Homo-oligomer: A and B are copies of this chain.
Amino acid sequence: MTDFAKTKSLFHLPPGLVYLDGNSLGPLPKAAVARVGRTMQEEWGDMLITAWNRADWMNQPSRVGDRIGRLIGAPPGSVVMGDTLSIKVYQALASALEINAERNIILSDTGNFPTDLYMAEGLVKSLDKGHELKLCEPGEVESLLSEDVAVLMLTEVDYRSGRLHDMKALTAKAHEMGILTIWDLAHSAGALPVDVGGAEVDFAVGCSYKYLNSGPGGPAFIYVAPRLADQVQPALCGWLGHEEPFAFDLAYRPGAGIERMRVGTPPILQLSALEASLDIWELVDMNDLRARSIELSDLFIELVEVGCPELEMVSPRDGSRRGSQVSFCFEHGYAAMRALIDRGLIGDFRAPDIMRFGITPLYIDADDVRKAAAIIEDVMGNRLWDSAEYFVQSAVT
């Protein structure tokens, strides 16, 4: 049984604050500062260039990829770290379109995170070969699968509502029609059990700074099903994806399997921070995490709905169809979120009217959920959001 009091003790959580935004940026693992400090002082500082070998920086993207693989049901050697999620989406999509070259539709839904759609749009425009990015409502995806579709590209957990797609069923349906699948696990990895191997997913991508707590701008990951990895021709073919980077050939030869999805020099400091977080993940059983996430989310929903009739729940009520976040719709959600933050509850706001709360059992417990619900009740019941200062828009939260 996972000891969540223990995992909570391993994070730095500012006193007096309830942090329900780990679905956007996970908190700092206490060990990360020293870990990154060691990488900087003992590796970069003392070993200098030789750390690429001596500290094995060169293989860090695959080594860390394997640790993430364990959390998403990917076998060793099928996940590699690097770049950002946007870039990894581009790589996956360009590869999939090349494999399914005789088809021209990319099917996605309006619940996909916008950058995935933007990257697809850019690729389609750049290729200029008549591809079409077709968007539907999340509930329509299954009915729109057809033999014209080259690629089904979805985010498993909707970033706004937390609605969970049935990855395994949709992948199976897609495969029946010869469609390749790309799953964005940004809101899944570390949020719930994921099994890309069991679901026979073709490509998966995700970021590490949300539930995986790697810190701001931590690298993304990409999974390519081993059955496809050696036939993928990367569009972004950088030197570290070359079969022999240090041969300095003038022509590209793809590296073996997932290695070819590497592009440039990996961000060693960010990867070190991620490793400190992954040490905590070693203590976690994903089924325990999922049970706890649903239990805490259900408690949160119950308390908020009783206390705040103005808030409309927009997440699925059935925990098994939800990721690890709970969202409410409120016309003045932006102002309300500002008011909550001022009172020690951090969640976030997503335009036009969604108040979003991440439920992350690694460091959030029932006490936190009760405190959060009480703050929300105070802000809503007493209209504390209704103050001019909260209506001035700023960039992020």
Question: How far, in Å, is A231 (CB) from chain B's closest CB?
Answer: 15
Q: Do B250 and A217 have beta carbons less than 8 Å apart?
A: no
Judged by a CB distance under 8 angstroms, whether A40 is at the interface is yes
Q: Which residues of B contact A94 (CB under 8 A)?
A: 126
Q: Which residues of B contact A350 (CB under 8 A)?
A: 248
Sort chain A's interface into a size bin: 35 or more
Q: Which residues of B contact A51 (CB under 8 A)?
A: 216
Q: Do B237 and A121 have beta carbons less than 8 Å apart?
A: yes
Q: Do A21 and B48 have beta carbons less than 8 Å apart?
A: yes
| Docked pose: A219 CA to B270 CA in angstroms | 11
Q: Which residues of B contact A388 (CB under 8 A)?
A: none
Q: Do A53 and B237 have beta carbons less than 8 Å apart?
A: no
Q: Which residues A20-43 have CB closer than 8 A to chain B?
A: 21, 24-25, 27-28, 32-33, 36-37, 40-41, 43
Judged by a CB distance under 8 angstroms, whether A69 is at the interface is no
Contact of A270 among B50, B119, B239, B269 (CB under 8 A): B269
Question: How far, in Å, is A52 (CB) from chain B's closest CB?
Answer: 4
Among A109-117, A164-172, A222-230, A315-323, the stretch that binds chain B is A109-117
Contact of A40 among B46, B86, B273 (CB under 8 A): B273
Contact of A215 among B17, B40, B128 (CB under 8 A): B40
Kindly list the 7 A-B residue pairs having the minimum CB-CB distance in the complex, ordered from nearest: A84-B264, A86-B238, A115-B239, A216-B268, A217-B267, A122-B237, A28-B45
Interface residues of A (CB under 8 A from B): 12, 14, 17, 19, 21, 24-25, 27-28, 32-33, 36-37, 40-41, 43-46, 48-53, 57-58, 83-87, 90, 94, 98, 110, 113-115, 117-119, 121-123, 125-129, 135, 207, 209, 215-220, 233-240, 242, 246-252, 263-271, 273, 341, 346, 348, 350-351, 394-397
15 residue pairs of the A-B complex, CB under 8 angstroms, read A14-B45, A28-B41, A49-B397, A52-B395, A52-B397, A84-B263, A86-B239, A87-B264, A94-B126, A98-B126, A118-B239, A119-B238, A122-B236, A125-B235, A215-B269
